[in-house]
Amino acid sequence: MPRRSGSMFWRIFRQLLRASRGRLTVALIALTSGAAISSALLNINLDAEQKLRHEFRTLGANVVVAPPSAGSDAALADASIIDRIAGAGASQLVAAAPYLYVAANVGTQPVILAGTWFDQVAKMNSWWKVDGAWVTSRDDSSHCLVGQAAARQFGLAPGSHIDLRAGERSVSLTVNGIITAGGDEDSQIITSLDVAQNLAAAEGSILGRIRGMIFWTIMLILILTTLGVLASMAALAMERSRDVGLMKALGGSVQRIMRLFLAEAAALGVVGGTIGFAIGVLLARWIGGRVFGVAISPRLAVFPATIILAVGVALLGALPLRLLGRVRPAEILRGE
């Protein structure tokens, strides 16, 4: 008997879908649109963080001390740890230097900025070829070293001035020397740690604003999507009042009827979320190429998040269908 009842449930479910194709299509379009935009923004946000983490290089020293990962945030360590390391092994330690990498711009061209301690870097990398001179003061905030590839790209030489910008902050430095290291440093600009920290603070502020903008944009899209689904479901509830009256007259309980409509809304959410995720991946790639000049890779973690959001919005939008529980079979059968 339960098996037959379940079979009847799905038979009615399919009939409802076929009978209300127009209204359900409108709701599905709204859900797909909201899911597509949410998916695109989430993919852009997550992939941008991943690409920033990939900018960090492996240090060329004998020992690398790195902080543990802190979830989705970039892992950073307090600079004072270097002082503790130096104090613990002063007799055997040749040099120790922190590195902070910042994505900056020279004009409109991007460059990686490496903030560190100049005096320690000179000890750790004495084999570097320097055209010009080393920066000898650890906290020199007016001079920098430029890798030979970066110097060639920006047309720099010892004594040149360079303007660096990260977010809303900028700094003007004098090139003290051009280095040839044979590694990633050849395409970087090396500054004091203080300069990099000042620019990175601005970068973190901008990143926080972007995240906030993405969050509130997604919230707005979900609210508008919910309103669109609400409008479609309200009209659908009016159309189905007679069907619900007949179901009640034939012995159908309110709970079973509501489960039927909620299953319909959840199915719409799953379909809309799946299609929206696929469209969102394409949209994220297009935005990444046109706006940021990088290829945005899809993140699989976004797929279940998109499905959950779409199903949640669909169920919330199906609230007007609860009014069908108040339909009186006698009034429907009398044609009222």
Q: Residue 306 has what pLDDT? A: 92
Instruction: Quote the CA–CA distance of 314 and 222 in Å, as a whole number.
Output: 10
CB-based contacts of 333: which residues, under 8 Å, 6+ apart? 245, 246, 249
Q: Residue 62 has what pLDDT? A: 42
Token pair 């007007």 is found at 320
Best CA proximity match to 332, nearest among 253, 238, 239, 242: 242
Residue 162: its H or E element: strand 161-166
User: Is residue 37 within 8 Å of residue 280, measured between CB atoms?
Assistant: yes
Instruction: Quote the CA–CA distance of 220 and 252 in Å, as a whole number.
Output: 38
Instruction: Quote the CA–CA distance of 223 and 249 in Å, as a whole number.
Output: 37
Best CA proximity match to 332, nearest among 252, 220, 233, 213: 252
Instruction: Quote the CA–CA distance of 204 and 206 in Å, as a whole number.
Output: 5
Q: Residue 55 has what pLDDT? A: 47
Q: Please tell me the chain's helix, strand, coil percentages from 3-state DSSP, rounded to the nearest 5.
A: 60, 15, 25
pLDDT digit string, tens, across residues 37-72 = 999 888 888 776 666 555 444 334 444 556 655 544
User: Is residue 173 within 8 Å of residue 161, measured between CB atoms?
Assistant: yes
Phi first, then psi: what are they for 89, rounded to 5°?
-130, 45
pLDDT digit string, tens, across residues 183-226 = 888 888 999 888 888 887 755 555 667 777 888 888 888 888 88
For the chain, residues with pLDDT lower than 70 are 1-20, 48-94, 202-208, 237, 240-254, 291-294, 321-336
**118 secondary structure, DSSP code:** H
User: Is residue 282 within 8 Å of residue 297, measured between CB atoms?
Assistant: no
Give the pairing of strands 169-180 and 143-147. parallel
3-state secondary structure at position 171: strand
Angle at 213 between CA 210 and CA 217, to 5 degrees: 140
End-to-end Cα spacing for the chain = 35
* Structural tokens at position 324: 């069908």
Instruction: Quote the CA–CA distance of 69 and 84 in Å, as a whole number.
Output: 21
